[in-house]
A and B are shown apart, each in its own frame.
Chain A
Amino acid sequence: MRGADYVIRRIGFALLTIFIAITINFFLFRVLPGNIVSDLARVPHATPQLRHALTVEFGLDRPKWEQYLIYLRELVHGNMGISFASQQPVSQLLFNDLKNTIPMVAIGTLGAIVVGIGTGILSAWRRSSASDHVSTNLAIAFYAFPTQFLGLMLLILLGGLLPTSGMENPYAGVFGPQSTVARFQDIGLHLILPALTLLLTLYGEFTLIMRSSMLETLGEDYVLTARAKGLSDRRIIARHVVRNALLPIATLVALSIGWIVGGAILVEYIFSWPGIGQALWLAINQRDYPMLQGGFLILAVSVVVLNLLADLAYFKLDPRISE
């Protein structure tokens, strides 16, 4: 029963957070200087009548709370407004961006988790050796490198070998149609640098946590028992230590999600990856408030949802936390 209670509480909290995010989102953008009318009416000779007509058309003459309710209602129907810049529905634009962001972020993050866990295990296994010191100090350094600096470094070092900007070669389809395989190859090549930057920014923390979690688990009594039974080192590590030491990684992933999103924004900006971070940046520069509002909302909601999933996964791994 307790478990079900915990799950319900987590879901309730996630829903509440999303609702708060939506509300803050709405009011934040109502205190911005200017609104859609001042933007659209910025044509020469805009008459007061035109302004008034636009104000009424967009419902800006109604009280704020009514606008808020309308906003909520439209949001539930998946309507996030129209982009000022491209005059297309925001939800459709952001859906396309999200489709580009997810593979890049997923590959970078999963890579960071794998590399971090791997180096962490090796470090703890060969603790206090030269390779441990090198790997740990490297992890601390990468942990402290600003994402944008890492990205620029990779641009300098590998910029000549790999594509540095965008997601596809814009001229690929010009001389005759492109096969699907070639297209995916092209995207894969473009994906290497952004995903690698994200991987390097993130992996250090995983190494440090995995290493210390391993060291802690190695001191447990059951490891001593396993050793007394005469099991080999490799078997003890693989069977008895790693699985238990993985638990803090689950927490770390959950707590890092907001951070990963921040890293992804910087990475997309550096490599012009046409994802949601890039869209957010463009929206700010073009004063495209509906896009900005929608983009932030999508990011906030995805972080909350991923956090919830991580929480539930953690609960599955270690049911003790509900108590």
Chain B
Amino acid sequence: MSAIATEGGSLTGTVSRARSGLIRQAIIERKAAALGLGIIVFFVVLAVAAPLIAPYSTTARTCAVFAPPSGSHWLGCDDGGIDMLSEIISGGRISLIIGFAATLIAMLIGGGVGILSGYFGRWLDTTLMRITDYLLVIPDLAFAMVIADVWGPSLSHVIGVIAILEWATTARIIRAQVMSVKERVYIKRARSIGASHLRIIGRHILPQVGPLLMANTVLTIAVAIYLETALAFLGLEDPTTTTWGTILEHAFDRAAVSAGAWWAIVPDGIVITLLIMGCFLLGQAIEDALNPRLRVAHLSSRRWALRPLAGRGPGAI
């Protein structure tokens, strides 16, 4: 019996190896994926090394109010005479922490709900899916505004709000995958030799949904950062922190537009856009590699994954 179990184990091992190999292959073969990964890595390094790289303090005045870009201040200064470049580098740190932490929680909830729902089915599935349906339908920014206001502005609250809102699509996608995986022969075989639910989920199902979860993680980071900047822009974030979102908020609030200080707005908007595009390109490439047949996924992620992975030939997206 142990021989069979090992055989089963090694089989899953091969499959999951083949799958992660697929992701690697996607990154190597697709320029877009490599570009996306490159952008994400760049911003992560920037965030980690922020205190070393940032040329000036983000709390002390180092130049004139709305000073334009110059040799000593590459991206100019904001309304408080604070160096924009330093602000963007340090702001990226908090933005990434929010984006990554919220995504991590969302993936834990979404993956967990998806697996439980897909694996056990019945009333558990019905209940959990009603909750996800609700979250999918509700306008997320409005909901986030209300909850952020109820909880009060703080870093952990913003992370919590985003996590609560963004797990539902992942749960949906994982559930569908689990439902198809659990019908496969090797799972039935594992069950017939008396493997516990925990073991089947841990050893046989999780490795199968892992790569899909990864693609979703990357896509959710983009959504989380987008939502972070939106909430911050509406003033629902801790006013004492600097994030990419609050930089835009300050610029808007303190009339950077009428002062003609485009440098307080444009570079920040560009870094947000770049990171979101990086996540989008990478996540999309992983998804494509995993499921070439995924055309129009009706229930996939609202903003990022609802796209036919389409077309034929190299010219297609």
Co-complex (A, B): yes
Interface residue ranges, A against B (CB under 8 Å): 13, 16-17, 20-21, 28-29, 31-32, 127-128, 132, 136, 140-141, 143-149, 152-153, 155-156, 159, 205, 208-209, 211-213, 215-216, 219, 248, 251-252, 255-259, 261-262, 265-266, 269-270, 277, 280-281, 284-285, 292, 295-296, 299-300, 303-304, 307
Query: Which of B137, B138, B310, B316 has the most C-beta atoms of chain A within 10 angstroms of its own C-beta?
Result: B137
A258 touches B138 (CB 8 A): yes
A259 CA / B143 CA spacing, docked (Å)? 12
Q: Are B280 and A28 in contact (CB under 8 A)?
A: no
Answer yes or no: B266 CB below 8 A from chain A CBs.
yes
CB interface residues, B 269-317, toward A, < 8 Å: 269, 272-273, 276-277, 280, 295-296, 298, 302-303, 306-312, 315-317
A15 CB to nearest B CB, Å: 12
Identify which of A28, A128, A205, A277 contacts B147 (C-beta below 8 A).
A28
Please pick, from B236, B252, B257, B308, the residue contacting A284 in the complex, using a CB distance under 8 A.
B236
> Which of B197-205, B210-218, B227-235 contacts its partner?
B227-235
B248 interfacial by beta-carbon distance below 8 Å: yes
For the residues of A in contact with B, the DSSP-based class is helix
B134 at the interface (CB under 8 A from A): yes
Known: A159-B257, A216-B308. A205 touches B145 (CB 8 A): no
Given contacts A144-B277, A215-B316, A255-B302, contact A292 B138 (CB under 8 A): no
In the complex, residue of chain B having the shortest beta-carbon distance to the beta carbon of A20: B134
Question: Could you write out 27 A-B pairs with CB less than 8 Å apart?
Answer: A16-B130, A28-B150, A127-B316, A140-B280, A145-B269, A146-B269, A149-B269, A149-B272, A152-B248, A152-B252, A155-B257, A156-B262, A156-B265, A208-B317, A213-B310, A216-B311, A251-B296, A255-B302, A262-B140, A269-B233, A280-B142, A281-B234, A285-B235, A292-B149, A300-B137, A300-B139, A303-B138
Which residues of B are at the interface with A, using a C-beta cutoff of 8 A?
A: 130, 133-134, 136-143, 145-147, 149-150, 222, 226, 229-230, 233-236, 248, 251-252, 257-258, 262, 265-266, 268-269, 272-273, 276-277, 280, 295-296, 298, 302-303, 306-312, 315-317
Q: Which of these, A148, A159, A257, contacts B230 with CB under 8 Å?
A: A148
Cβ–Cβ < 8 Å partners of A212 in chain B: 307-311, 316-317
> What residues on B are CB-neighbors of A257 within 8 Å?
139
**Within 8 Å CB of A13, what residues of B?**
133
**Given A144-B276, A209-B308, A257-B139, 16 additional A-B pairs, CB 8 A:** A16-B130, A141-B273, A149-B269, A156-B262, A156-B265, A205-B303, A209-B306, A212-B310, A212-B317, A248-B296, A258-B302, A265-B141, A269-B234, A270-B252, A284-B236, A307-B137
Q: Which residues of A contact B233 (CB under 8 A)?
A: 146, 148, 266, 269
B296 touches A300 (CB 8 A): no
**Which of B134, B258, B266, B311 is in CB contact (< 8 Å) with A215?**
B311
Nearest residue, chain A, Cβ from B148: A284
Question: Is the beta-carbon distance between B147 and A146 smaller than 8 angstroms?
Answer: no
How long is the Cα–Cα vector from A141 to B280 in the complex, in angstroms? 11
List chain A residues, Cβ under 8 A from B272: 146, 149
- CA distance in complex: A251, B307 (Å): 10
B230 touches A303 (CB 8 A): no
**Contact residue among B138, B143, B273, B311 (Cβ-Cβ distance under 8 Å from A145):** B273
